[in-house]
Amino acid sequence: MATWSRRLRGLGYGALLAPLELLLLVCGGLALGIASVHPALRRRALVPLLAGARRLLGLERRRLLRFFDEEVSDHHAPGATLRYLAARGSLGLLGAAVLGLMGAGLVLAVLVAATIPLRLIEGEYAIVAGLLPQILLGLVLLFLNVQGFVGLDQLERRLARHFLGPSPRELLERRITELAVSRAGVLEAVNAERRRIERDLHDGVQQRLVALAMVIGRARRSRSPEKTDELLRQAHEEAQGVLRDLREVAWRVYPVALDDGGGLAEALTTVAEHAGVPVRLDYGLGDRRLPNAIETVIYFVACEAVTNAVKHSRADTIRIEVRETVARPEPAGREEEQTVVVRVRDDGIGGADPAGGGLSGLARRVAALDGELRVDSPAAGGTTITAVLPTGKTGMREAVVVGEAEPVRRGGGAGPVGTESSCV
């Protein structure tokens, strides 16, 4: 509702700008026509026309961004700017007509509605019955007005993209910038992962190995068979502890299940089983395997989100959803893109910081695959972490639309097992 209210205000603002845009073009056209007899005069007439067009385009740019979320390019040819203002001015007048009819219709509807109770009190039922056709006609006109409003909203955005959209060169420059940023993010994520592994080996495995060596040394120096047996038992337990720590470190680096037959489903099931709170897994990919890089990122997103929920959110339940969708980009007609969505929700206290180390690292991992990570975590409203990863164009494989795929539930309601998630 707030969005449509904003769009309505944007159309009203555009209706106010339309007369200025058309007046500028008419006056500029007349000036150019009069000055066309001499090239020098033509150049002098062109300067104020282009200056005025730039000012109006600046207002249009701010209007499109604020009310329609359309960010247009900063660089345009003068011809494109003038053509846009000509088309926009005409559309603005049409918008003014639609908004005027809508306003007049609402005023008449209020006036008619206000008289009905008075007529009923005075017993003029026949007059009230005679108003019914007018009320029905008003409803039809209101429906047409709403349709006109929706059409104007779409035309505004298509017009801006057609005349002011980024050029192929700008798109290429943006893509290069995105790749440079994502590459830096990947390098930072890799360095952070390396530092974490080094810390885990130093503080965990290395300390246990030192303790194991000391126990074995004491056993070698012992002269008492009973004490030697006890020390060997301790050494055996310490060695088992070292193996468990090594398995944990190896699991955090890369879960073996992603390379085995179980794949992503088995890896996520293990995450659910190792969490300290009940975790429900809705896995909608069935037996289909995704590229290894995508499965790895999905695993780390789910693992990190579950770990954060267990550690910080005080959540009672967590839900992991993985399913395929089809992204339908605007404007219509562009090639649709197959994506996979992983969403982790908890019912905790919320307040997660997207700029925190863990979540920002996940965002870098997702961005490296041209994906997007969203964090919705209002205070006391739980946390929802959503990652959307492209997997290809719809022409490459059969499309599966959200809501049509029946999810395969695995590990649903896994009870607390008293251990932290494998990514902790």
* Nearest-angstrom CA–CA distance, 33 and 191: 65
* Nearest-angstrom CA–CA distance, 55 and 153: 23
Q: Which two tokens stand for residue 228?
A: 């030697």
* Nearest-angstrom CA–CA distance, 245 and 231: 21
Tell me the Ramachandran region of residue 413: left when phi exceeds 0, alpha when psi lies from -120 to 50, beta otherwise: left
User: What's the Cα-to-Cα distance from 229 to each of 188, 216, 289, 404, rounded to whole Å?
Assistant: 49, 11, 50, 63
Q: Is the pTM of this model over 0.95?
A: no
Tell me the Ramachandran region of residue 11: left when phi exceeds 0, alpha when psi lies from -120 to 50, beta otherwise: alpha
* Nearest-angstrom CA–CA distance, 75 and 61: 12
Question: How far from chain centre, in Å, is Cα 362?
Answer: 14
- What pLDDT score does 420 carry? 37
Q: Going from the N-terminus, what domains does the chain have, and what CATH number goes with each?
A: 1-166 (no CATH), 167-253 (no CATH), 259-327+338-393 (3.30.565.10)
User: What's the Cα-to-Cα distance from 57 to each of 43, 165, 171, 274, rounded to whole Å?
Assistant: 21, 13, 21, 57
- What pLDDT score does 102 carry? 83
- What pLDDT score does 386 carry? 94
- What pLDDT score does 419 carry? 34
Residues of the chain with pLDDT under 70: 1-2, 260-261, 327-336, 393-424
- What pLDDT score does 176 carry? 86
Which residue, among 1, 18, 158, 11, has the nearest Cα to 99 in the 3D structure? 11
* Nearest-angstrom CA–CA distance, 44 and 47: 6
Q: Which two tokens stand for residue 144?
A: 């047409």
- What pLDDT score does 384 carry? 93
3-class state of residue 318 by DSSP = strand
Q: HEC string of 82-129?
A: HHHHHHHHHHHHHHHHHHHHHHHHHHHHHHHHHHHHHHHHCCCHHHHH
Burial (CB count <10 Å: 0-12, 13-18, 19+), residue 177 = exposed
Tell me the Ramachandran region of residue 418: left when phi exceeds 0, alpha when psi lies from -120 to 50, beta otherwise: left
